[in-house]
Amino acid sequence: MTSRPAPPAPGRPAAIRARGWGWRHAGRKAFAVSGLDLDIAPGERVLLLGASGAGKSTLLHALAGVLGAAEEGEERGSLTLDGAPASGVRGRAGLVLQDPDSQTVLARVGDEVAFGAENLAVPREQIWPRVRSALGDVGLDLPLDHSTSALSGGQKQRLALAGALAMEPGLLLLDEPTANLDPDGVTEVRDAVRRVVDRTGATLVVVEHRVAVWADVVDRVVVLAAGGGILADGTPQQVLGRAASRDELARAGIWVPGVRPATRAEQRRSGAVLSPVPSAGPAAHGEALLEAEQLTVARLRRGAAVVQDVSLQLRRGQALSIVGPNGAGKSTLALTLAGLLPPSRGRLEALAPLDRGAGPAPHRWRSAELVTRIGSVFQEPEHQFLTARVIDELEFGPRRVAGLSAADARAKVEELIVRLRLGHLLQANPFTLSGGEKRRLSVATMLATGPDILMLDEPTFGQDAHTWAELVDLLDGLVMEGRTVVSVTHDEDYTAVLSDSVIRIDGGQAALAGADR
């Protein structure tokens, strides 16, 4: 009988030390992180930046001891917490991921917060005081038996943070914790983290692409270089405040506060560049494809309505953003418009240019009919991956749905591979990609089938400044071709640059929030 490990000593901030450290995922030629030399003192608060794919999440997972065994990758150098290998001191670090749904295990709030501490063999009499303290730290004033499935996005992220805090870690690791939250949710989570590290003194490492919200919480900024090692390291003012440093970071694709990447889409809308003649022809642009009238949507068949009485037309060559607070029903509306959920009440009809003999009700179409007419990119990219290689994922739709030959399928996806910077990942397993790479792959897989309407749920999360601009320009090009792009998003820059109309969902109602440009 094996003895259970002793729980880690609480309340002691952890020290991090890396010397020549690197990690290569199994099946990948390149190292995700390489040549890393880094010291983080106990109690330091560090913002970890880097271009998409620079290895930020890999480093956090390594510090949390969850990268996997030797057969899952190759490690070089050393990475230690308090002088011991990080992989051997699980429990010293608490990790909060960018998608709270992916780390919610149990049905009740109290049980969920207690889960990590229970797995660390914390004595029973200590667990529930820790649970209540952690919920108080994050400002989640709910009964312990409250359903985790009834929480909003911001509440789920605070719940995940509370679960990490109940472990009383010496190191708190946050992987884009506010990526999919509305502005109020961002503030809630940021303020909760500040309260916790003020009270506990824990060492903090937070990864975010958008840095302004964390700049006054941390005392140090570390920027990983895409080719290995460190690009910049210093105080927020040293790294983000000096003109020379800001310019270098911007060239590397780092989001610099107050700087929005230049895009052809924004130049076109401002009149700085001429718009090409739409390939679909002037008559086709503006043609109605999908019409909703007094539409009510629900998350479950016969479930309670979440958005009511929506009336709209989706037109060829339109870019529409759906905005609003977490839990308002934005994704549910998008899934219904995309034919993946049946309407609860009202009318949703595909018009003649879109139905092409498939019938007027998108939710009744066969999958092969749907994917070539309305393509959906889910908020969680992993939910739509079907194969073990990126190239197979890209070619799956053209080959299996559209019936193209191998050569024609490769030609179909070649431009997407280049535009979305996926060329070096073609042999990789999609599930081993970074969050930003997974998002670009999920967008590319839908674009490869050539749908008339593209539905995207949080399309820009995890993107650095360069890949964000590439994605915006790619979608703008689709709009110019006469395709329709509908985006559920909290990204105000994305909406400002790409969308010609905006619908705001709040309190169960939908309202046009921005007139057509």
Q: How far is CA 412 from the centre of its chain?
A: 26
Confidence of residue 432 (pLDDT cuts 50, 70, 90): confident
Q: What is the C-alpha R_g of the chain?
A: 24
Confidence of residue 2 (pLDDT cuts 50, 70, 90): very low
And the tokens for 291?
């019409």
Q: How far is CA 9 from the centre of its chain?
A: 33
- What is the predicted pLDDT for the residue at 449? 87
- What is the predicted pLDDT for the residue at 132? 93
| Separation CA 114–CA 117 (nearest Å) | 6
Higher pLDDT, 373 or 5: 373
Average pLDDT, the chain: 88
In 3D space, the residue among 218, 210, 250 whose CA is nearest the CA of residue 234 turns out to be 218
And the tokens for 294?
């007094």
Q: What are phi and psi of 487, to 5 degrees?
A: -125, 125
* For range 25-48, the mean pLDDT: 93
The DSSP string of 356-401 is TTS-S-GGGS-HHHHHTTEEEE-SSGGGG--SSSHHHHHHHIIIII
Would the pLDDT of 1 be above 60? no
- What is the predicted pLDDT for the residue at 244? 82
pLDDT digits (tens, 9 = 90+) for 123-155: 999 999 999 999 988 888 899 999 998 887 778
* For range 215-243, the mean pLDDT: 93
Would the pLDDT of 424 be above 60? yes
- What is the predicted pLDDT for the residue at 323? 95
* For range 506-514, the mean pLDDT: 86
Count CA atoms within 13 Å of residue 380 on its CB side.
Answer: 10
Would the pLDDT of 514 be above 70? no
Q: Name which of 86-100, 127-141, 228-242 the model is least confident about.
A: 86-100
| Separation CA 343–CA 346 (nearest Å) | 7
Looking at 104-258, list the stretches that DSSP marks H as alpha helix, in order from N- to C-terminal side: 109-119, 124-137, 153-165, 183-200, 236, 243-251
In 3D space, the residue among 13, 30, 66 whose CA is nearest the CA of residue 423 turns out to be 30
Confidence of residue 456 (pLDDT cuts 50, 70, 90): very high
The 3-state DSSP class for residue 67 equals: coil
**Which segment, 219-233, 373-387, 390-404, 503-517, is predicted with the most confidence on average?**
219-233
- What is the predicted pLDDT for the residue at 515? 43
Helix (H) or strand (E) holding 479: helix 465-481
- What is the predicted pLDDT for the residue at 11? 58
- What is the predicted pLDDT for the residue at 345? 94
Higher pLDDT, 282 or 497: 497
Q: Cβ neighbours of residue 369 under 8 Å, at least 6 residues apart? A: 358
**What's at 278, amino acid-wise?**
P
Confidence of residue 517 (pLDDT cuts 50, 70, 90): very low
- What is the predicted pLDDT for the residue at 468? 92
Count CA atoms within 13 Å of residue 366 on its CB side.
Answer: 6
| Separation CA 88–CA 66 (nearest Å) | 10
Would the pLDDT of 100 be above 50? yes
Alpha-carbon torsion, ordered 134, 140, 143, 144, to 10 deg:
-30
Confidence of residue 243 (pLDDT cuts 50, 70, 90): confident
- What is the predicted pLDDT for the residue at 419? 83
| Beta-sheet pairing, 501-506 with 288-298 | unpaired
- What is the predicted pLDDT for the residue at 70? 67
The 3-state DSSP class for residue 307 equals: strand
**Residue 448: Cβ within 10 Å count:** 26
| Separation CA 499–CA 505 (nearest Å) | 16
- What is the predicted pLDDT for the residue at 436? 80
pTM of the full structure: 0.86
**What's at 206, amino acid-wise?**
V
pLDDT digits (tens, 9 = 90+) for 62-75: 999 988 776 788 99
- What is the predicted pLDDT for the residue at 7? 43
CA diameter of the chain: 76
**Residue 453: Cβ within 10 Å count:** 25
pLDDT digits (tens, 9 = 90+) for 267-287: 887 776 555 545 555 446 789
Count CA atoms within 13 Å of residue 126 on its CB side.
Answer: 13
In 3D space, the residue among 103, 164, 158 whose CA is nearest the CA of residue 130 turns out to be 164
Would the pLDDT of 171 be above 50? yes
Q: With b meaning 16 or more CB within 10 Å and e meaning fewer, what string describes 324-333? A: bbbbbbbbbb
Contact 146, 180 (CB under 8 A): no
